[in-house]
Amino acid sequence: MLAKRIIPCLDIKDGRTVKGVNFVDLRDAGDPVELAEIYSREGADELVFLDISATEQKRKTLADLVYRVAEKVNIPFTVGGGISSVEDVDILLHNGADKVSINSSAVKNPQLINDLVAKFGSQCIVVAIDAKQIDGEWIVHLVGGKLPTDRKLFEWAKEVEERGAGEILFTSMDNDGTKDGFANEALAKLSTELNIPIIASGGAGNKQHFTDTFVEGKADAALAASVFHFKEIGIQELKTDLKNNGIPVRL
């Protein structure tokens, strides 16, 4: 069995790492490059940077951040936030990112997935899907969970796979920031129905939650933010705990 991956996520706003609950009430969590260095040393398998800023200089700022991170870390990292063209991706990969994550732009223009895969290869392209339950149905949302779409989670995930994406990063908006655990039922369905890796996001609060999402949710990787940023869980202690629970991890 492939080793399960632990992925700290750094939400970036105006050059700083921030974290909130259900995508609101943001608080500062530190310098992203410094945090990236620490996580790389501590044994994180990968990193994800999501730029949630809304500045006109966003693309240049993000490219500069990617370059600085690439100089300091020796583990793969993914960059997302406002990426909407082949040119955007070209700049970020050229500056040192290993993968890019697209979200709203893929929902609005699904052909973008095909175009990016054709140009850069599926291994570089992660599609992030934010969804929440409405009347018992998982509905894809945009704009940090504020804007519901007519897309249903499982149908959209299948289309994303068919268009060639290499991975799906699924965030449950209902669980995000709550620290009550991941949306394992939905994750298990995604993992069963699809053949590409599924990254679990939203809800990590303790070490048991990670074991649960790998066992019950069948996730290939687990992403978390505040529990790492605010030192509630150490990456090495988490991996040791997972190994003791029979989960294959890289120590």
The CATH homologous superfamily to which domain 5-244 belongs is Aldolase class I (3.20.20.70)
Average pLDDT, the chain: 93
Q: Tens of pLDDT along 33-43?
A: 999 999 999 99
What integer is the mean pLDDT of 134-160? 94
Give the integer Cα–Cα distance in Å for 156 and 139: 10
What integer is the mean pLDDT of 171-175? 94
pLDDT at 238: 98
Positive/negative CA dihedral, 124, 81, 133, 29: positive
Q: Name the pLDDT band for 215 (thresholds 50, 70, 90).
A: very high
Helices (H) and strands (E) in the chain, counts: 10, 12
115 is catalytic: no
pLDDT at 56: 53
Percentage above 70 pLDDT, the chain: 95
Q: Tens of pLDDT along 79-105?
A: 998 899 999 999 999 999 999 999 999
| Residue tagged active-site, from 11, 45, 88, 176 | 11
- Tell me the residue ranges of DSSP E strands in 95-156: 99-102, 125-134, 137-142, 147-152
pLDDT reading at 22 higher than 80: no
What integer is the mean pLDDT of 231-239? 96
Question: Per this entry, what is the length of the chain?
Answer: 251
11 is catalytic: yes
| Residue tagged active-site, from 45, 51, 88, 130 | 130
